[in-house]
Amino acid sequence: MYQRIDGHNWRHIYLVGDLHGCLAQLAEQLRLVRFDPWQDLVISVGDLIDRGPDSLGCLALIDKPWFRAVQGNHEVMALNSLRNTSHNTEDGFLWEMNGGRWFSELNEEAKKQAESLFRRCKTLPLIIELIVQDKRIIIAHADYPLAQWKWQADVDPGQVVWSRARLQRNIKGKGELIRGADAFYFGHTPLKKPKHFFNQHYIDTGVVFGNTLTLVALQ
């Protein structure tokens, strides 16, 4: 569930919002910041796949040495669906309804590639702890559902990838600081622009719906 990254190993570190198959937009953002794959790192808040034009291309990023990601709810839906030999299941229908049809439309060679990547996807963490410039930054798809950060704490994986409860409390003015870390970054909920509450940052700006992809320089 957890992965720790030491920022000293890279020159620049960028955090990217939900990609949803929008590989060209990521490439453009990286070009603008003069990203160097030999020195720099990109971390994704999850939801690499579904709805956009190049889910397979975005999924293939997990094999790049300059890329890290947490699992999003779309990866979880895909993995749940692919666990079954028949896709005519509740999990299969849920994934297809939420943009997963691209997988069934692949040719056989591409489908084998996707299946291999999904096997790799199973090993992605749900939560990343990033240490940069003596700051502790926590990255998860939807939420860190405790009041205080603790490495390897027992948390509900479903809340980590699905919950919008904290964001809703924040929007209503009823949020609060999450103790134990300097910043928390989440995706999951498409917003017109990033929102910031206390030490919590929500950076899914709905690139797949025609908005600008958010890329945050953390180092």
The pLDDT score that the predictor gives to residue 85 is: 56
77-86 pLDDT, tens digit each: 999 999 875 5
Report residue 117's pLDDT band, with 50, 70 and 90 as the boundaries.
Answer: very high
What is d(CA 52, CA 204) in angstroms, rounded to the nearest whole number? 14
Tell whether the model's pLDDT for residue 24 goes beyond 70: yes
142-181 pLDDT, tens digit each: 999 999 999 999 999 999 999 999 999 999 999 999 999 9
120-145 pLDDT, tens digit each: 999 999 999 999 989 999 999 999 99
Tell whether the model's pLDDT for residue 71 goes beyond 60: yes
74 a catalytic residue: yes
The pLDDT score that the predictor gives to residue 91 is: 73
The pLDDT score that the predictor gives to residue 66 is: 98
Q: What mean pLDDT is predicted for residues 47-53?
A: 97
CB 130 within 8 A of CB 139: yes
Q: How many Cβ atoms sit within 10 Å of the Cβ of residue 31? A: 9
CB 166 within 8 A of CB 173: no
Task: Catalogue all structural domains in the chain, each as residue range(s) with its CATH number.
Answer: 1-219 (3.60.21.10)
Report residue 92's pLDDT band, with 50, 70 and 90 as the boundaries.
Answer: confident
Report residue 93's pLDDT band, with 50, 70 and 90 as the boundaries.
Answer: confident
Q: What mean pLDDT is predicted for residues 104-119?
A: 96
Q: pTM for the whole thing?
A: 0.95
Annotated catalytic residue: which of 20, 74, 141, 201?
74
The pLDDT score that the predictor gives to residue 137 is: 98
The pLDDT mean for the chain works out to 96
Cα dihedral: 138, 201, 203, 156 (round 10): 50
State phi, psi for 52 to the nearest 5 degrees.
-90, 180
